[in-house]
Amino acid sequence: MQEVALLLVLMLAVASGWLLGCRQRRCSKKDSGKRLPESYYRGLNYLLNEQPEQAMAMFLQALDDNSEAVDTHLALAKLFRARGDFTKATQIHQNLLARPNLETAEQLLVRFELASDYMAAGLFDRAERLLKELLIESSTDIRKKSLTLLLELYQREKDWPEAIKTARALLDMKDSSMESVIAQYLCEQAESFSQCGDEAAARLALRNALGHDSDCIRAHLLLAKTDIQAKKYKDAIKSLKQVKKKDDAYLAESLPILQACYQQLGQEKQFYEYLLECLNDGSLISSGFNASQAMRKESTKPEQLSQRIRDEAQQAPSLHGLRYLIDCQMYDAEGSSIHYLQSLREFVDQLIAVHPAYRCKQCGYQGKHLTWLCPSCQQWGTIRPSHTIE
């Protein structure tokens, strides 16, 4: 942290020195005897004495007299904001806005930065008010930036109707990444409707979500859960089978619910056949789903099945594959071998249990539970099941 602070002050020292130097060169004909402000030299002195806070204050003072240094002031305010000093960042922006000769484009940019200060400081009401004003007054660039910041604000407040409206405005500005984001917001709404017992509204929201993003795994899973609540097990099975079709990495999320649906319909044999299908296309073992019980119960040809599992597990070595191989050995084992294999299996289960089951493909965040919004990088749909042991 100390190194970062020193780096920031150094950057500021260079920037302010350069700007003041430029200004001085412009004035040199009129005032050849004028030197850099005393505060700049005092700032350098503080920097040499490893006193970054005092150095920053001096450089800031040196820049204060320079009315042309808008960009440098903006950069400096950004540095203060990044360090969590929202008061100083806000002060710089307010000082800039007080200048009578500020150009319109600069004024809009400074107001956007001020809204960013309010956001960072958690003053959401002020940020929202300012951003909404900018939406009316601004050109495309600032308008898009304002919409993006508003989207973050509504997301943090879990105001899904406003978030959807804002994401749609961004979509109108050709930001196609908003399709999958809107689908996630609609899933959030659907979950709220379900909690209130409004099944029809939940179903409508999920259909809309799939309209925006037909690959939205979360919407397929939630739709299946809504169908199960209404005892529409056949419809639920259709939604759950979409999970494998859209992204088989999430297969294990659908299998326990699928098994429950088939059980309700008294069709466990069909579930076993579906597992075999998943085994044959290579998605079962990599999914990490523990299918051995269902397989053992239904299988009429354990030798062939065992060989298939062995082949699959050897192709993609993993703890889950090892567990399948142990299960295969247990088909033929007798006496003490069974106890030995059981102990080995328990040991592998323990290793699997301590391994984080989910990982964000964007930032590498790892967790034990599936969340649709990464708590680390705040991206939607980037957390995926992870069954590889590193």
Applying CB under 5 A, the residues found at the interface with Zn ion are: 360, 362-363, 365, 374, 376-377
In 3D, which of 78, 160, 156 has the Cα closest to residue 122?
156
d(CA 92, CA 107) in angstroms, rounded, equals 13
Distance of CA 24 to the CA centre of its chain: 47
> Residue 367 CB, nearest distance to Zn ion (Å)?
10
Burial (0-12, 13-18, 19+ Cβ within 10 Å), 189: buried
> Residue 188 CB, nearest distance to Zn ion (Å)?
18
> Residue 381 CB, nearest distance to Zn ion (Å)?
10
Residue 41, helix vs strand vs coil: helix
Amino acid type, 335: G
Report the residue number, 51 or 362, with the smaller CB distance to Zn ion: 362
Residue 28, helix vs strand vs coil: coil
Cβ contact 199:223 at 8 Å: no
Cβ contact 303:270 at 8 Å: no
> Residue 374 CB, nearest distance to Zn ion (Å)?
3
Beta-bridge partners for 385? 358
> Residue 146 CB, nearest distance to Zn ion (Å)?
25
Helix (H) and strand (E) counts in the chain: 20, 3
Report the residue number, 15 or 187, with the smaller CB distance to Zn ion: 187
Length of the chain: 390
Report the residue number, 107 or 148, with the smaller CB distance to Zn ion: 148
Residue 329, helix vs strand vs coil: helix
Report the residue number, 289 or 365, with the smaller CB distance to Zn ion: 365
In 3D, which of 301, 279, 280, 303 has the Cα closest to residue 291?
279
**Considering Cα of 345, then 351, then 354, then 358, what sign does the dihedral take?**
negative
Report the residue number, 283 or 379, with the smaller CB distance to Zn ion: 379
> Residue 185 CB, nearest distance to Zn ion (Å)?
18
The structure tokens listed for 77 are: 């305010």
> Residue 362 CB, nearest distance to Zn ion (Å)?
4
Q: How far from 197 is each of 133, 149, 237, CA to CA, in Å? A: 38, 33, 22
> Residue 375 CB, nearest distance to Zn ion (Å)?
8
Report the residue number, 299 or 362, with the smaller CB distance to Zn ion: 362
Report the residue number, 264 or 362, with the smaller CB distance to Zn ion: 362
Report the residue number, 80 or 380, with the smaller CB distance to Zn ion: 380
